[in-house]
Every structure is written in structure tokens, then in C-alpha cells.
Amino acid sequence: MRSVPTPTADPTTALPLTAWRSTLGPAPRVTPMTGSTSAVWRVADSDGRAYVLKRLAATSPAALADEHRVLTHLVRAGVPAAPAVRTDAGTLTATERAIGPGQDPGNGPGPAYQLTPELPADHDDPERRPDADRVCFRIGAAIGRLHVALASYPDAVPSYELDLVPRTFDEAYPRLPPDVIARTVAPLRARMTAALADLPRQLIHGDCHPGNVLVHDGDVSGFVDVDHLPVGPRIYDLAYHLTHRVRGIVTAASGRAEREEVFRRVVGRYVDGYHASRPMTAGERAAVVPAMLAGEMILTEWNLRDPAQAEWYEHGVRSLVWMSERYDELLAAVGAPSSAP
């Protein structure tokens, strides 16, 4: 589940590690994970097996149980994910309590923590690898396999509907500055609306940016933040992932021309990989680029709401400009004719 910012606690006292004593042993090694705005620690047991301990935002036990069932289903279906490690008491979380002389950490009133296996992940950009074509195909294929598994999930999931056309054009579109709209998506609105209508829908990830799709040694090693899953167009996850790849291009400090050229070459590989795992209709392939722009409009409008995200908002505007100027070129790159609606 998503975590919340908090001061780093003393791992030898405040963190409820004894709740997982049978897993971690009596003296696990705890290291705060730097570079995160959340309260997250890396925990290693005596054999060197690594886990992630995360302080959770307020959430209901039912929501935690739903997430755990979904993640367990994904793992059984062959999709890499990290279900929570149950405590020695059989619960999905443990809570800290005030520590005094002679007391031992354990369950009590206080914030909830969750322990999950650490999934391996590289920190390099897969598009900058010499085998980028192969790796990008594998990323698309993994998102497709995720969708196949989510479509076969047998239980109900408390969810919400992601209605892409109204979310994009009834909500985000009028809230973005008119000058931004005029030089980006306004000339494309009719084509985008037609392309995004009546797409196949199912349970999807909903936040499938590159940080939630872990890659290690050229293959997808895991999906994280698999919670709050919406029902929406199944191509949205792929398109949203590609939107963030474009943000990486427009914010590159150097080598932008090279990165643009690589993306033009590999964007179709992402789509072909997805199609290999989850066959797409012709309409879905034609909707990938419109959905990329829709995802960026939603994200940019969200950034606009918070003054603290002003820099991210500017990144989004640059991404909208870049994609809008290359709309037909991108359609061709993913295998959709430029005349597609």
C-alpha cells in the first residue's frame, strides 16, 4: 500500500520488527532507504535475504486483505509481485508502540507497518541499454501478462471506474490553461475523443509508471503499488507508462536528440510486446497515442493543483507539446495509420 512521510525511526527500538521474528531472525539489519519521500527501510535477515518495511497510510484491514489476495493471485499466475509477509501472529501488518525501559517493540496502538520481499531492480534507463529493443518489448509483454492475470482474478475488488474520455475532456481539459490547450491537444480533440471511445475495459493497474514496473537484468522483475485498482481501458496502463517515458525525454539534461531517436524506434516495441501477451484490437492500437496524451493531460492537471508540484507541471506541459507535435509520427511508430480517427 502507499506510505506516508515520517521521520526515520530508530530501527532498534521503534520499528516493530519482532512481529516478524520467525522470518527476520533476532537481529535483522535495517537501513533507511534514502531518496524516498516515504518511510521505507531495507531489512536484511542473517542469511542476507532482503525485505522492504514500509509505514502505511491509514487504510482499512479489508483493503489490505483485498490487496494481498490480488497480489497472491498475480504470483500464482506467474506475474512478479511481492505480497506482504504475514507476521508471526498471522496478520498483514504490525504496529509500533511507545518504547520504555524494559519494553520490547510489538503490536500496539500506533502506525501500521508492512513487510514485503525486496524485488530486484536496476536504476538505469532501459531505453539507454544496448538491447533496448528487446527490453522494451519485454516491458510491454509484462504489462500484457499483468492484464491477462487481472482479467482472470476470480473475486470482486472494491474499485472505481476510470472513464477516460470524460476524465480527460470534461475535467482535465477545461482546468488546464487555455494557451496550453491551444498549442497542444485542442486541434486533436475530435480525433482523440473518437479513438478513446468504446475501448475494451477491465481491471487495470492504474498507476503503471516506470517506478512501479521494476526492471532487472533486462526483464521485468516486479510490479509494485498494486492497490486501488480501477476498471478502465486496458491500454491505459501501457499508454501511461509511455507517457512517463516521454517525460524522461523532455526533461533530459543532455543527449535529448539521441533519446528522442531511440524512443521513436522502441515505442512500437512496447506496443508489440503488449500485443504478444494480450492481443490488441485495431482500435486499441490506434488509441495508444491518444491515451498517452490523455494520461499526460490528467497528470499535468493534477500537478497544476499543487503549487509544490510546479516543476512537475512544467514537465507535463513540455511533454504535451512534444507528443502533440509528433502525433501522427507516433501513430505510425506504434503501427496505427496516421489517418486513424
- 279 and 221 assigned to the same domain: yes
Query: Which DSSP symbol is given to 308?
Result: G
Q: Which pLDDT belongs to residue 2?
A: 42
Q: Which pLDDT belongs to residue 57?
A: 79
- 249 and 201 assigned to the same domain: yes
User: Per residue in 65-102, pLDDT tens?
Assistant: 999 999 999 999 999 999 999 999 999 999 875 444 44
Share of the chain above pLDDT 90, in %: 79
User: Is residue 338 situated within a structural domain?
Assistant: no
Q: CA triplet 48, 50, 51: central angle to 5 degrees?
A: 150
User: Is residue 70 situated within a structural domain?
Assistant: no
User: Is residue 105 situated within a structural domain?
Assistant: yes
- 31 and 52 assigned to the same domain: yes
User: Is residue 7 situated within a structural domain?
Assistant: no
Contact present, 316 and 250 (Cβ < 8 Å): no
User: Which CATH number characterizes residue 282's domain?
Assistant: 3.90.1200.10
Report the range of poorest mean pLDDT among 30-34, 138-142, 148-152.
30-34
Residues 6+ apart with CB under 8 A from 40: 3, 32, 33, 52, 53, 54, 55
pTM: 0.90
- Report which of 243, 332, 234 is spatially closest to residue 294, judged by C-alpha positions: 243
Q: How far apart are the C-alpha atoms of 319 and 317, rounded to whole Å?
A: 5
Cell numbers describing residue 56 = 502505511
* pLDDT level of residue 111 (50, 70, 90 thresholds): confident
Q: Which pLDDT belongs to residue 108?
A: 53
- 28 and 158 assigned to the same domain: no
Residue 39 has pLDDT above 90, yes or no: no
Q: Which pLDDT belongs to residue 123?
A: 86
Contact present, 192 and 294 (Cβ < 8 Å): yes
Residue-number span of the structural domain to which 21 is assigned = 17-60+81-117
User: Per residue in 258-290, pLDDT tens?
Assistant: 999 999 999 999 999 999 999 999 999 999 999
- 108 and 27 assigned to the same domain: yes
- 147 and 282 assigned to the same domain: yes
- 245 and 183 assigned to the same domain: yes
- 112 and 147 assigned to the same domain: no
Mean per-residue pLDDT of the chain: 90
Contact present, 181 and 300 (Cβ < 8 Å): no
Residues 6+ apart with CB under 8 A from 108: 95, 96, 97
User: Which CATH number characterizes residue 112's domain?
Assistant: 3.30.200
Overall number of domains in the chain:
2
Q: Which pLDDT belongs to residue 223?
A: 97
- 319 and 176 assigned to the same domain: yes
User: Per residue in 201-235, pLDDT tens?
Assistant: 999 999 999 999 999 999 999 999 898 899 999 99
User: Is residue 8 situated within a structural domain?
Assistant: no
Q: Which pLDDT belongs to residue 158?
A: 86
Give the number of residues written for the chain.
Answer: 341
Q: How far apart are the C-alpha atoms of 126 and 141, rounded to whole Å?
A: 14
Q: Which pLDDT belongs to residue 4?
A: 39
